[in-house]
């Protein structure tokens, strides 16, 4: 996901995406703790996506 993809979305869409990515990040963290996560780079990608969405939300105000 790139920032340019997020820039044209509405505030409600961004908040829905943020909630979805945060729940995904939570489940990835739980899987990591239980040694069930195969690809640990997914955690970093999810964190960066959350940061990008937060940036887009702050710019939309």
Q: Quote the pLDDT of residue 60.
A: 80
Q: What is the pLDDT of residues 31-57, one digit of tens each?
A: 999 999 999 999 999 999 999 999 999
pLDDT at 61 over 80: no
Q: Is the pTM of this model over 0.85?
A: yes
Q: Could you give the CA distance from residue 44 to residue 59 in angstroms, rounded to a whole number?
A: 23
Structural domain boundaries of the chain? Answer: 11-23+38-61
Are 19 and 61 a contacting pair, CB within 8 Å? no
Non-local CB neighbours of 22 within 8 Å, separated by 6+ positions: 50
The confidence score (pLDDT) of residue 8 equals 87
Exposure of 30 in the CB half-sphere (CA atoms within 13 A): 6
Higher pLDDT, 2 or 22: 22
The pLDDT of residue 19 is above 70: yes
């Amino acid at each position: 996901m790139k920032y340019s993809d997020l820039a044209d979305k509405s505030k409600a869409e961004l908040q829905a995406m943020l909630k979805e990515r945060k729940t995904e990040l939570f489940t990835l963290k739980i899987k990591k703790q239980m040694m069930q996560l195969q690809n640990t780079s997914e955690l970093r990608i999810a964190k960066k996506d959350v940061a990008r969405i937060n940036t887009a939300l702050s710019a939309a105000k």
